[in-house]
């Protein structure tokens, strides 16, 4: 890596919050960090307090991206689970080309990033990845083939608190679980030790645990010391319920695009033809790649218990 700073996008994020973790880890490794923030406020101040240089800009503003990317040694690209990633990738790609950078971009991506996935955001993520590659950038794409733990309080606090139940359309199939900060750690490894991801451009990275939602409800019930049930419902019913939650005062970060995406992911898991895919069953991968123990679901839910009460 050259001497320049590493550009980190999404450092003020609050869903997975991977950007701030990447900032902290790179600074701890002694690397200079530049963070792209959309505005100067309390959250950007926290990023500056960590020791990062701030550039105010936007992934859909070419002018600010040429400033942010000037002289960088590498970059971390992330985008929320929301519409708009294709224009963001196109602006980023053009700016990266125009600053003449030979640097590597590590892209936070998701398992559903395929051209035929039922989720519109999954298909958009795939197209964004393609755009970065057509542009000839040096990209390493990490498709986290797992649900982030952080979705559980976001999606199910109300029904668990009020009714002691999780309802969704994931059905009975198991799926992979990963803490968002562990996903961020995988990206840090890709930035610091690119040789570990040198064999191909796009990597599927499952989490350390596989659970279906019956098991997730049981773990949460154990943590809360009261029964939590699981009721599978249809994709349509869950979409409607999530859109209602997204329109309510308890929406938090949930918005309609995320609601439709997550229901489409549930539908894909419930109807999955890919259960034999060994990528999805490699529960030791995180430990092998990072050399440290992952955060497990029980541990995360224990820390979050207050949110469900
Ligand atoms: N959730 C899951 O279960 C899951 C699973 C697998 C993979 N993933 C991957 O994780 C990624 C999300 O990462 P995350 O959870 O760290 O994100 P996050 O916490 O939602 O943060 C998103 C960040 O992007 C910033 N942002 C939004 N629009 C922008 C724009 N136009 N220009 C510049 N910045 C912009 C936001 O800025 P503000 O702070 O100003 O809003 C925020 O800082 C997704 O793309 C997905 O591929 C998620």
Q: In testing the pocket of ligand 1, which one of 79, 95, 128, 207 has its CB within 8 Å of the most ligand atoms?
A: 79
Q: In testing the pocket of ligand 1, which one of 38, 123, 177 has its CB within 8 Å of the most ligand atoms?
A: 38
Output the residue whose Cα is nearest ligand 1's atom 31: 59
Decide: 17 in ligand 1 pocket, CB within 6 A: yes
d(CA 9, ligand 1 centre) in Å: 9
Res 281: pLDDT: 78
Q: In testing the pocket of ligand 1, which one of 13, 111, 177, 182 has its CB within 8 Å of the most ligand atoms?
A: 13
Single out the residue of 91, 72, 79 nearest to residue 32, CA to CA: 72
d(CA 184, CA 25): 9
Angle between helices 180-192 and 18-28 (to 10 degrees): 40
Res 309: pLDDT: 86
Res 101: pLDDT: 78
- Phi and psi for 238 in degrees, rounded to 5? -70, -40
Decide: 287 in ligand 1 pocket, CB within 6 A: no
Q: Residue 75 corresponds to which tokens in the numbers above? A: 């970059």
Question: Tokens 């207050």, residue?
Answer: 306
pLDDT at 127 > cutoff 80: yes
262 CA closest ligand 1 atom index: 3
Can you give the length of the chain in residues?
309
Decide: 142 in ligand 1 pocket, CB within 6 A: no
- Concatenated DSSP letters of the chain: --SSPEEEE-TT--SS-HHHHHHHHHHHTT--EEEEESS-SHHHHHHHHHT-EEEE--TT-HHHHHHHHTT-SEEEE---SSS-HHHHHHHHHHHHHHTT---EEEEEEETT-STT-S-HHHHHHHHHHHHHHHTT-EEEEEEE-SEETTHHHHHHHHHHHHHSEEEES-TT--EEEE-HHHHHHHHHHHHH-GGGGTT-SEEEE--SEEE-HHHHHHHHHHHHTS--EEEE--HHHHHHHHHHHHTSTT-TT--HHHHHHHHHHHHHHHT-S-TT-GGGG-TTHHHHHHSSPPPPHHHHHHHHHHHH-
195 contacts 276 by C-beta, under 8 angstroms: no
Res 152: pLDDT: 98
Output the residue whose Cα is nearest ligand 1's atom 18: 13
Average pLDDT over every residue of 149-166: 97
Can you name the residues that pair with 209 across neighbouring β-strands? 177
Tell me the pLDDT tens digit for each residue of 25-57.
999 999 999 999 999 999 999 999 999 999 999
Output the residue whose Cα is nearest ligand 1's atom 2: 148
What percentage of the chain reaches a pLDDT higher than 90? Answer: 94
d(CA 201, ligand 1 centre) in Å: 21
Can you name the residues that pair with 109 across neighbouring β-strands? 143
Burial class, 108, CB count within 10 angstroms (exposed 0-12 / middle 13-18 / buried 19+): buried
Res 276: pLDDT: 45
> What sign does the CA torsion over 250, 60, 86, 141 have?
negative
- Phi and psi for 255 in degrees, rounded to 5? -130, 165
Decide: 78 in ligand 1 pocket, CB within 6 A: yes
d(CA 27, CA 279): 31
73 contacts 106 by C-beta, under 8 angstroms: no
Can you name the residues that pair with 29 across neighbouring β-strands? none
pLDDT at 183 > cutoff 70: yes
Q: Residue 194 corresponds to which tokens in the numbers above? A: 């690119």
d(CA 25, ligand 1 centre) in Å: 18
What is the residue-averaged pLDDT of the chain?
A: 96
What structural domains and CATH numbers belong to the chain? Answer: 6-147+178-205 (3.40.50.720), 151-176+208-273+292-308 (3.90.25.10)
Can you name the residues that pair with 204 across neighbouring β-strands? 143
Tell me the pLDDT tens digit for each residue of 208-241.
999 999 999 999 999 999 999 999 999 999 999 9
Res 279: pLDDT: 54
- Phi and psi for 122 in degrees, rounded to 5? -65, -45
Decide: 186 in ligand 1 pocket, CB within 6 A: no
Res 274: pLDDT: 58
**Any idea what the Cα angle at residue 288 is, between residues 208 and 128, rounded to 5°?**
70
Tell me the pLDDT tens digit for each residue of 259-295.
999 999 999 999 986 554 555 678 999 999 999 999 9
Output the residue whose Cα is nearest ligand 1's atom 47: 109
């Amino acid at each position: 890596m050259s001497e320049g700073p590493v550009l980190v996008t999404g450092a003020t994020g609050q869903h997975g919050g991977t950007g701030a973790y990447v900032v902290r880890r790179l600074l701890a490794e002694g690397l200079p960090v530049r963070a792209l923030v959309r505005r100067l406020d309390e959250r950007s101040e926290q990023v500056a307090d960590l020791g990062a240089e701030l550039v105010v800009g936007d992934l859909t503003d070419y002018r600010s991206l040429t400033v942010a990317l000037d002289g960088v040694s590498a970059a971390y690209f992330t985008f929320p689970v929301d519409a708009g990633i294709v224009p963001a990738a196109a602006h980023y790609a053009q700016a990266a080309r125009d600053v003449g950078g030979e640097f590597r971009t590590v892209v936070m991506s998701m398992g559903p990033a395929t051209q035929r996935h039922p989720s519109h955001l999954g298909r958009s993520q795939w197209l964004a990845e393609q755009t970065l590659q057509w542009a000839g950038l040096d990209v390493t794409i990490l498709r986290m083939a797992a649900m982030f733990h952080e979705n559980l309080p976001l999606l199910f606090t109300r029904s668990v608190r009020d009714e002691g139940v999780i309802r969704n359309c994931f059905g009975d199939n198991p799926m992979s679980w990963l803490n968002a900060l562990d996903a961020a750690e995988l990206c840090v490894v890709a930035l610091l030790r690119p040789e570990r991801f040198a064999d191909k451009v796009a990597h599927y990275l499952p989490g350390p645990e596989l659970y279906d939602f019956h098991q997730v409800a049981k773990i949460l019930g154990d943590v809360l010391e009261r029964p939590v049930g699981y009721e599978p419902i249809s994709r349509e019913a869950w979409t409607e319920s999530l859109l209602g939650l997204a329109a309510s005062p308890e929406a938090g970060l949930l918005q309609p695009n995320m609601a439709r995406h997550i229901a489409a992911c549930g539908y894909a898991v419930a109807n999955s033809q890919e259960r034999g895919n060994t990528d999805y069953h490699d529960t030791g991968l995180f430990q092998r790649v990072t050399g440290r123990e992952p955060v497990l679901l029980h541990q995360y839910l224990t820390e979050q218990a207050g949110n469900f009460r």
